[in-house]
Chain A
């Protein structure tokens, strides 16, 4: 029996095939997906903010891109994944409302996606696909059989990256 494991906002989880991982309605948050094709171990982090170092109250590891991506990688390695084989995919980081550019709120989606790229590069993980930015929400599901990331959006249909 396989289950689809739900990852909430400011949350991260790992699993092994045949289980799958999903997060529903990513908006400006960024979904960081890691996958090792040999062990079929997958990980998903749903991060809200780019940088824990900019925030005083930063105990919630999964809330931030920097601490969340590192923890996700560590958890996968602990589960038996091999770091050299792990590849990443990104989704989310949208701008949900058309704020005027002066607003800091507006840039948060973009900043989350950029932070994910910078942090994964620092960790030595290659990003093989992304569906980020734009102005709409995304539900994502990781198929741990082959690493496919299914991205669903309202009015945009379903795509696999």
Chain B
């Protein structure tokens, strides 16, 4: 079997992946918006093909403190879905949802569970819309949460993709609510075979 690399993707295929990011994130943002009862806007998705050393830049630098909910995706499509927020924004999001006022930057067990569940709902909305569109099976794992430095968190998808190549493809969509209390990112990192499957299902390969 021929070994594809991300460099083989042409502009049209990149555009299709961006559109998938658009649809996935659009649904995810709608879910988030109804959770917190606020209008949430999103930016145009970016398809980043990055060297490992540059991966952390998508989250604003290696040492930036972020909260990330990660779901492993299996089925016809394999990859990693992440929902990432600044630690401060994660706290605000949980407070918005639970109607709490906490100034403590350390989240309680209950707040952590809530954040995982938010990630679960939102990432689920993203993946479900893609599964419907492509008619491919995408099974999400339970949500896993980590709060740490951006580079340390991104080492997880990077290592996974390091097994097959020297770049990582991230479909990144930034979002923010109207009052700028909560800003974050969706990162969908499909493996190269899955990209071929998805593009094939849409007839652009």
Binding site for B on A (CB under 8 A): 8-11, 24-29, 48-49, 55-57, 59-60, 63, 94, 96-99, 103, 105, 108, 135-139, 154
Contacts and interface: CB of A to CB of B under 8 A. Distances in A.
Given A48-B52, A57-B166, A97-B145, A29 B159 contact: yes
Given A48-B155, A136-B148, 16 more contacts: A8-B54, A10-B166, A11-B52, A24-B151, A25-B56, A25-B151, A26-B155, A48-B158, A49-B159, A49-B162, A57-B3, A96-B152, A97-B145, A97-B146, A105-B159, A137-B153
Interface residues of B, number: 33
Interface string B56-76: 100000110100001010000
Contact of B149 (A24, A55, A59): A24
Contacts of A98: 144
Contacts of A27: 148-149, 151-156
Given A25-B62, A98-B144, A108-B159, A9 B53 contact: yes
Contact of B148 (A55, A57, A63, A96): A96
B160 A29 contact: no
Contacts, number: 105
B140 interface: no
Nearest to A112: B159
A99 B160 CA distance: 14
A28 B70 contact: no
A25 B62 CA distance: 6
B53 A28 contact: no
A49 B158 CA distance: 10
A139 B72 CA distance: 26
Interface in B97-113: none
A117 B3 CA distance: 33
A28 B159 contact: yes
Contacts of B148: 25, 27, 96, 136-137, 154
B55 interface: yes
Contacts of A10: 51-53, 162, 166
Contact of B52 (A8, A94, A103): A8
A24 B54 CA distance: 12
A24 B150 CA distance: 9
Given A28-B159, A49-B159, A57-B165, A137 B152 contact: yes
Contact of A29 (B155, B165, B166): B155
A97 B158 contact: no
B164 interface: yes
